[in-house]
Structure 1
Amino acid sequence: MTAKPKAFLFDLNGTMIDDMEFHAKAWFSILNDDLNAGLSYADVKREMYGKNRELLHRIFGNERFTPEYEDELSLEKERRYQKEYTSSLCLIDGLTEFLAKAKAQKIKMAIGSAAIPFNINFVLDGLNIRHYMEAIVSADDVEISKPDPETFVKGAEILGVKPAECVVFEDAPKGVEAAQNANMPCVVLTTMHQKEDFSAYKNIIAFVKDYNDPILQTLF
């Protein structure tokens, strides 16, 4: 990148909060204890991308459950996740200061997540950071989730910023792929994946373990 970005688009889980193991444990419980899928923990983690309904369809097919039961399963999974994670809820190191600096420099910010509003609200209100975000794009706001670019494209449109003027923050390969498909550069948080998991993507401008990394200051 040469010009300074005008907007930051943040994935949520694993990118703003380090909570993906809690999601994996909740899904493992739902899929195996409730639905008898017989999946290993590694299998469950591989399927953890996109909307909750999309995950269920990948594992069980499109016709196994009614939409109403899929919604019920989705909410129950999030209740189990929130129950276990609430006491650990916190922003990834350095993000509090990073958000404040971005706002002070009038960089627009948005959430672009495959999470349902129930979980996004849990984080934004639980950590009192909603005031930083000028747009929120959730699972309910898109037809197809990541790696389709719709989540990030819609976020940029709401902010009134061109895709190339945005920087996406992601932790998952499918999210980085969505940013690449949207023609957006991406910073990767290595909370759940190592660098080698992202070798297929050409839009990555930095790998960081948290928001204290000095390379992020070059974005301002």
Structure 2
Amino acid sequence: MLKALIFDMDGVLVDSMPFHAAAWKKAFFEMGMEIQDSDIFAIEGSNPRNGLPLLIRKARKEPEAFDFEAITSIYRQEFKRVFEPKAFEGMKECLEVLKKRFLLSVVSGSDHVIVHSIINRLFPGIFDIVVTGDDIINSKPHPDPFLKAVELLNVRREECVVIENAILGVEAAKNARIYCIGVPTYVEPSHLDKADLVVEDHRQLMQHLLSLEPANGFRQ
């Protein structure tokens, strides 16, 4: 009995990861480190608290030698400077239809200010619940972000579907024991093979979501 859809933001709702990658690379460069887009895409979904140590080790440095808040501050400034908010084509219209049938939530590893500014600008009034990287301690691939959304939505996990494009996000959904649809925006489809269903692209994703039926009498 489906009642709620839980969306990742970056790469699912908004084509934003290239801007995140550019901002993180700038922050690392100013700290004397070099990282690649692929390094950033591989840990998409984690919050800075959990993701930065992984990226610093990718740069062959020790995390203890760096001030995480200083790196994050440079990243935020650069992201704000370069970001051009753009929803995937058709997504807003799709969500407006889905909102009549389901509860809708966003679960993102990005920080509170960034997530809410994007959601308020591109999808005002659409989502019932928004969970950000600042709202939890253990980020994706831990199940905590999705379990938090389930709790706030006041539904059961078997009444939800998660839509993810990130490797860690798919792992988090399955660790939370929630059905997961994967959309390979920035990675190869095979990298999302832990998902229950992997669609080809956003067009197929939206077609599938619009075919879903809500629980009897739910938001009818």
Match status 1:171 vs 2:165 = yes
What is the distance in 2 between the residues matched to 1:218 and 1:121? Answer: 28
Q: CA deviation at 1:36?
A: 1.4
What is the distance in 1 between the residues matched to 2:40 and 2:109? Answer: 17
- Summarize the alignment of residues 38-49 of structure 1 with structure 2, pairs less than 5 Å apart: 38-49=34-45
Match status 1:19 vs 2:20 = no
For 1:159, the equivalent position in structure 2 comes to 153
Which stretches of structure 1, 4 residues or more, deviate above 4 A after TM superposition? Answer: none
Q: CA deviation at 1:218?
A: 2.4
For 1:189, the equivalent position in structure 2 comes to 183
Mind listing any 5+ residue stretches in structure 1 that lack a counterpart? none
Alpha-carbon displacement from aligned partner over 1:85-121 (angstroms, at most 9, x marks no partner): 22xx12112211221111122x101111111011112
Aligned residues: 207
Mind listing any 5+ residue stretches in structure 2 that lack a counterpart? 214-220
Q: CA deviation at 1:48?
A: 4.0
Taking structure 1 as the reference length, the TM-score comes to 0.85
- Summarize the alignment of residues 11-90 of structure 1 with structure 2, pairs less than 5 Å apart: 11-31=8-28, 33-58=29-54, 59=56, 60-65=61-66, 69-86=67-84, 89-90=85-86
Percentage of matched positions with identical amino acids = 26
What is the distance in 2 between the residues matched to 1:146 and 1:111? Answer: 14
Query: Bigger CA drift: 44-53 or 145-154?
Result: 44-53
What is the distance in 2 between the residues matched to 1:8 and 1:61? Answer: 39
Confirm or deny: 8 A CA contact 1:15 1:171 kept in the other structure.
yes
> Secondary structure of the residue that 1:63 maps to in structure 2?
helix
Q: Read off the aligned partner of 1:77 and give its amino acid letter.
A: Y
Q: CA deviation at 1:43?
A: 3.4
For 2:138, the equivalent position in structure 1 comes to 144
Question: Aligned in 2, Cα 1:191/1:116: closer, same or farther, shift over 3 Å?
Answer: same
Taking structure 2 as the reference length, the TM-score comes to 0.85
